[in-house]
Amino acid sequence: MVLHIASRSHYIVGLRFDSGGRGSVYDCAEEDELRALPTIDGTTRSAFGPDGIISRTERGERLLFWPTGVADTGAMRQWGRHATAFLGRRHFDDPDLIECRFLLLASP
């Protein structure tokens, strides 16, 4: 499959079957591997900053939501480091929401 992803928003804007092998191939990796990426000098570093945010992944809505007090609204964050409070009101803070409401069915 070929995914077409918008450069600034990271939205999926297209999906099609590969018909010629053009494009870049990306490997899927466990999130834990992103915490120990190899560097040129042989050491490792995390893709995430100390604040749990991947640098340079900011999106336009940060300009709209800056009064909420959430740093880098819309930026890619490490699991468990997502903003759940805007102006003191909690949102999306149920850690088991998906697992409790949906079931993965076995294929027939």
DSSP code of residue 68: G
Residue position matching structure tokens 């803070």: 93
The C-alpha atoms of residue 83 and residue 57 are separated, in whole angstroms, by 15
pLDDT of residue 85: 66
CA of residue 52 relative to chain centroid, distance: 11
Q: Is there a contact between 48 and 40 (Cβ–Cβ < 8 Å)? A: no
- pTM surpassing 0.85? no
Chain segment 59-76, per-residue pLDDT in tens: 777 777 767 667 777 788
Provide the pLDDT confidence category of residue 5 given band limits of 50, 70 and 90.
confident
What value, to the nearest 5°, has the Cα angle with vertex 8 and ends 21 and 65?
150
